[in-house]
């Protein structure tokens, strides 16, 4: 089957924890408060940048809008300092595209910084589309961005998969009527959602799609 494969970004294609946490702690330092652990910041990821900042500064009496704007600037400056592709991502996407599948990204991270990261990591050539926050669609678990990608490419739900490491990815896929796959190697949880498939690694997912 020549699937449309829509991937989440953080925790699915890239391990961005160090840069996300680094930006949080740089801003916390600017406001004179102690840093948070990598594990704690990681637990805040998945619902978009505004929620990440809100959760990361819940213990600080500051203007939320000011902190959010400062975080945007800081993260934009260091978004690929330590961010890495998960093993097998580049090679896997190339194999999927060569097999005739269409690949895209749907993320709750702002679209502009997401595209910049994907450019720097040399993945854009493998992708038919990248939809993120501030691109005109409600954040996942809303299916709006996913439905837009399917409509743009003329793909019916039965020919599409949503792949991600967070329950918002799985819920968006369910709401759009597509198959879902949980990236168990990432840093999110299913949150009780019931994905069609579980992948222990990105390469496992590639092999699954190539034989399905």
Q: How many residues does the chain have?
A: 212
For residue 8, indicate whether it is catalytic: yes
Nearest CA to 169 out of 13, 2, 3, 40 is that of 13
Long-range contacts of 69-72 (CB under 8 A, 24+ apart): 70/27, 70/30, 71/23, 71/24, 71/27, 72/110
* DSSP-assigned beta bridge partners for residue 104: 6, 129
| Helices 64-77 and 17-30, axial angle in degrees (round to 10) | 130
* Token representation of residue 180: 């879902």
Active-site annotation holder among 8, 10, 15, 169: 8
Q: Is 112 helix (H, G, I), strand (E, B) or coil?
A: helix
Active site residues per annotation: 8
């Amino acid at each position: 089957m020549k699937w449309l494969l829509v991937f989440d970004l953080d925790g699915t294609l890239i391990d961005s924890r160090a840069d996300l946490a680094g930006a949080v702690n740089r801003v916390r330092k600017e406001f004179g408060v102690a840093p948070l652990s990598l594990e704690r910041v990681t637990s805040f990821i998945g619902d978009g940048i505004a929620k990440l900042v809100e959760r990361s500064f819940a213990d600080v009496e500051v203007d939320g809008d000011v902190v959010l704007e400062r975080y945007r600037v800081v993260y934009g400056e260091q978004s690929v300092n330590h961010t890495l592709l998960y093993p097998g991502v580049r090679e896997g996407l190339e194999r999927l595209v060569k097999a005739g599948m269409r690949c895209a990204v749907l993320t709750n991270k702002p679209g502009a910084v997401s595209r910049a990261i994907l450019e720097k990591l040399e993945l854009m050539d493998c992708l038919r589309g990248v939809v993120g926050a501030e691109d005109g669609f409600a954040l996942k678990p809303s299916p709006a961005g996913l439905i837009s990608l399917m409509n743009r490419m003329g793909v019916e739900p039965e020919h599409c998969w949503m792949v991600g490491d967070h329950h918002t990815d799985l819920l968006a896929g369910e709401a759009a009527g597509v198959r879902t796959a949980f990236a168990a190697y990432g840093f999110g949880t299913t949150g009780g959602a019931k994905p069609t498939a579980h992948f222990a690694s990105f390469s496992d997912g590639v092999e699954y799609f190539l034989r399905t």
